[in-house]
Structure 1
Amino acid sequence: MGTTFRPYSPDQELLLPPSLNEWLPEGHLAYFISDVVEELDLSAFYARYEGSGRRNSPFDPRMMLKVLIYAYATGVFSSRKIARKLEEDVALRVLAAGNDSGY
């Protein structure tokens, strides 16, 4: 009797977009960092954006802080490497919530 493999269709489109949160195990470092940053007082970061409205849709400081802390905690210090990881690393994609680096 021959071996029966599980179905494998790499070109199959997903019916619904997947939730990236489902791809990380419970208790992952990314969730811990996200929870900690959500508890911080970031009013000083947001204060710099008050006023004139001349800025062109900057990234949310909470997202930036989460991404930087996670990247540094996992040994990624270069901004270019962080930008690349935002496309490749599921944990960073979860923390960035769909925002990419623009590269």
Structure 2
Amino acid sequence: MLRKAPKHHIARVVDEMVEAIPNKNLYSHYKDGGRSSFHPKMMLKSILFGYSQKVYSHRRIEKLIFKKIPAMWLSAMQQPDFRTINEFRGERMKGLMDE
């Protein structure tokens, strides 16, 4: 039997915090067209969880998503690579991440 994570686990806090951001605020950083991408909330959750674990490198955040169950939960078992994480953090969401 699986136990639920504690109510105040950092992964739950990150999830609730990011879910409170309106989608229009995130999608305003995307242009129309092109390949479908990872959902911006999932990407933001993964990065913020990494920061909460004192992991700031794109490559290490990628590894965290592969190894840590809370990171897997936040990423909905999707596995963005370090280049995607870098592009999202450095280009798409720079202004939002600075906030």
Structure 1 equivalent of residue 70 of structure 2: 91
- Report how many aligned residue pairs link the two structures: 82
TM-score (structure 1 length as normaliser): 0.67
Structure 1 residue 50 displacement after superposition: 4.8
Structure 1 residue 63 displacement after superposition: 0.6
Query: Which structure has the bigger radius of gyration?
Result: 1
Higher helix share: 2
- Look up the SS of the partner of 1:34 in the other structure: helix
Structure 1 residue 23 displacement after superposition: 6.0
Sequence identity of aligned pairs in percent?
Answer: 27
**Residue 27 in structure 1 maps to residue 8 in structure 2:** yes
TM-score (structure 2 length as normaliser): 0.70
Deviations 1:27-47 (A, max 9, x none): 311011101111113423212
TM superposition outliers: structure 1 runs of 4+ over 2 Å: 22-27, 47-51
Deviations 1:33-86 (A, max 9, x none): 1011111134232123353x22x1211110111111110111000000111111
Structure 2 equivalent of residue 49 of structure 1: 30
- Look up the SS of the partner of 2:36 in the other structure: coil
Greater mean deviation of Cα atoms: 39-48 or 56-65: 39-48
Structure 2 residues without counterparts, runs of 5 or longer: 83-99
Structure 1 residues without counterparts, runs of 5 or longer: 1-17
Residue 11 of structure 2 contacts residue 49 of structure 2 at CA under 8 Å; is this kept in 1?
yes
The residue type equivalent to 2:59 in the other structure is: R
**Residue 68 in structure 1 maps to residue 58 in structure 2:** no
CA-based RMSD of the aligned residues comes to 2.3
